[in-house]
Amino acid sequence: MEVTARKGMKVFVNVASWMDGWNGSHDMENGNERREREGGVKRLVLFPCPYQGHINPMLQLGSFLHSKGFSITVIHTQFNSPNPSTHPEFTFFPIQDGLTAEEISSGNVLAFLLAINANCKASFRQCLTQVMEQEPDNKITCAIRDDLMYFTEAVAKDLNIPNIMLRTSSVTNVLARTAVPQLHSKGHIPFPGITLHCWIANSQSLNPVPDFHPLRFKDLPTSNFDTFEKYSELVVNAFDVRTASAMVWNTTDCLEQSSLAQIQQQFPVPIFSIGPLHKIEAAASSSLLEEDTSCIAWLLKQSNNSVIYVSLGSVASISEIELAQMAWGLANSKQPFLWVIRPGSVSGSEWIELLPQGFIEAIGEGGCIVKWAPQREVLSHRAMGGFWSHCGWNSTLESLSEGIPMICTPSFGDQKVHSRYVSQVWNVGMHMDNELERGEIERTVRKMMVDADGEVMRVRAKDLKEKIEVSLSNGGSSYNFLNKLVELIMLF
């Protein structure tokens, strides 16, 4: 691996030998010790993908690295711009993203990501160059980029800046994502031009994916918006690590040991499984939506392990019919619930005006509805007994880290992979396979919160929580990989 030293000379590092010889037995220096030894602050540039599930882990990683003495600069799109006031220790630079109002409002995530990668290369290069010129004595040591923001890799290479790829999804999901083009080439998925999601939904949904137990075709992380060609374009580009110095994963060995071993065989670069990142550094909230903390006062009035928390994420939307089914399913379960209904997430409404007539009166004090919740605080509360989730990776990690079993209702992409693993591999949750229907919702919630099956899942979830805590503690896998990551960056 070739890296650039502070004075512009080339340094060649035998990464494989270095990784093998590093045993994690020494602790990281604190920031002051490192600055004294190096004679200055090393600056890192971060570029997150502009979605909540990607921004959070990137800024959490930045907070950790800042605590170890690195200077952090965040370059980001104007769309979903993070709030600089929540991280005053960072320097933020917005760039023009060229996104149209139609692209932003379409909900077509795949087209949106392709547009950013097509639009932002020139503005990112200009911003990065300006940062370098403003402080020529404080060189950029490394760029850390989201894997879906692959356009940044070419810019970093041209400017002779080492780059590290942060993957904010699970390893298993990335393996499943890259399996889709391979399945197509082997004839398991039909000709180009068809909407992949529709083919899977209408044809082979319950068939097992060859060589990918326990996933079924319906569990593949496909897009419900575009064609195979566009999906493949994103996957191939995001999987290209030819010039990356390392890959960092927001996961931990106790969750994905076999997948991590498989991914390491495929790539000749260091792999750092350092998650869950939200447990590494108690960073300020980077939520794009205002959190309603009033729900904490309501939780304090509830019994231990009695509340089902319901939140389907920051992107997915539901129909008025689905809203009504969820409402009456929760009400009929007779279990206390904290329900996040994101403004605009219900088609045709601003917030909760489409809730069915009589629902609010029926639940009384048994339910609490908010626009957005401080999720990490909620999941760690003693009253939590279950989490009804879309199974985005951040939410899944946050739930597993607190020992909370899950009811899974995935919408698209990686959520389907995680849902399958929650229910079939880690055995700490239940997957609702069918359309949202009040009777099934009532039965599933009661099974989770009241029945013996739910208690068994709670025991398993607590055991998994303990394993995650071990990985984060001194000598654990995530702890050691964090040490290794810092040491690698110090070699640049």
Structural domains of the chain sorted by starting position, each given as residue range(s) with its CATH number in brackets: 2-29+42-173+222-286+480-487 (3.40.50.2000), 294-450 (3.40.50.2000)
* pTM (global) more than 0.85: yes
* 3-class state of residue 168 by DSSP: coil
Distance CA 145, CA 149 (A): 7
Distance CA 170, CA 259 (A): 9
User: How much is the pLDDT for 276?
Assistant: 96
Q: Are 74 and 62 in contact (CB under 8 A)?
A: yes
Distance CA 472, CA 489 (A): 20
Quickly list DSSP for 8-58.
S-EEE--HHHHHHH--S-SPPPPHHHHHHHHTSPPEEEEE--SSHHHHHHH
User: How much is the pLDDT for 40?
Assistant: 66
Nearest to 412 by CA among 231, 151, 193: 231
268 contacts: CB under 8 Å, gap ≥ 6 = 16
User: How much is the pLDDT for 357?
Assistant: 94
Distance CA 60, CA 69 (A): 15
> How far are the Cα atoms of 168, 346, 405, 436 from residue 325, in angstroms, in the given order?
32, 13, 22, 6
User: How much is the pLDDT for 430?
Assistant: 96
Quickly list DSSP for 282-318.
-PPP--SS---THHHHHHTTSPTT-EEEEE--SS--B
User: How much is the pLDDT for 2?
Assistant: 39
Q: Are 48 and 37 in contact (CB under 8 A)?
A: no
Q: Average pLDDT of each block of 10 consecutive residues along the chain (492 residues)?
A: 34 41 45 49 94 94 95 96 93 94 84 94 95 83 96 94 96 90 77 51 73 88 71 85 90 96 89 95 74 95 97 88 96 97 87 93 94 96 97 96 96 90 96 89 97 96 98 97 96 92
Distance CA 139, CA 483 (A): 22
